[in-house]
């Protein structure tokens, strides 16, 4: 449930301090120590899971239940209308802390945040084939 060498598990247990914004039995939200915008915060499950696909779906649902309320609070407190919710999964995706977390990043007009988003196009038929290939891998969840 908790990893001894995980910085976010240490925040959950109180061994490392954090600027907490919200806490309940399963979820914690705190300000990012290296913000890319004022009010940039992280929402995490208290239990240790590294990524979305390895996370227990009930735990993820607990986080999802909280996200809209935290996002709304960020909007109101930071006086912004727009924000990004970002979740890096794995090193190649930019994940540094291997404890699942959702960044909430307030956005303001003219801010310096830019995503490198290299848009491309699929060749003929590839989009259908790819949708089929991925679709076949989706495990149908039991009720």
Interface residues with ligand AMP (CB under 6 A) are 7, 16, 18, 32-34, 88, 94-97
Residue nearest to ligand AMP (CB): 34
**35 vs 68, which CB is nearer to ligand AMP?**
35
Distance CA 139, CA 99 (A): 24
Name the residue nearer to ligand AMP (CB basis): 112 or 140: 112
DSSP letter for 3, please: -
Q: 10 near 16, Cβ under 8 Å? A: yes
Residue 108 CB, shortest distance to ligand AMP, in Å, is 18
Closest approach of ligand AMP to the CB of residue 57, in Å: 21
Sign of the Cα pseudo-torsion (45, 48, 51, 54, in order): negative
Q: Which active-site residues does the annotation give?
A: 101
36 DSSP assignment: S
CA distance 110 to 113: 9
**Smallest distance from ligand AMP to CB 67, Å:** 15
Neighbouring CB atoms inside 10 A of 111's CB total 14
Nearer to ligand AMP by C-beta: 67 or 97? 97
């Amino acid at each position: 449930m908790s990893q001894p060498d995980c910085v976010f598990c240490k925040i959950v247990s109180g061994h490392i301090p954090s600027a907490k914004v919200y806490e309940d039995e399963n979820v914690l939200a705190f300000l990012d120590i290296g913000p890319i915008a004022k009010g940039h915060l992280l929402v995490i499950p208290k239990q240790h899971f590294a990524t979305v696909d390895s996370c227990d779906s009930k735990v993820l649902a607990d986080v999802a239940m909280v996200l809209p309320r935290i996002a709304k609070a960020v909007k109101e407190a930071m006086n912004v209308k727009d924000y990004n919710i970002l979740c890096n999964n794995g090193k190649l995706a930019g994940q540094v802390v291997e404890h699942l977390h959702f960044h909430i990043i307030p956005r303001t007009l003219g801010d310096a945040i830019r995503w490198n988003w290299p848009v491309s196009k699929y060749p003929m038929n590839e989009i259908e084939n790819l949708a089929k290939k991925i679709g076949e891998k989706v495990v149908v969840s039991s009720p």
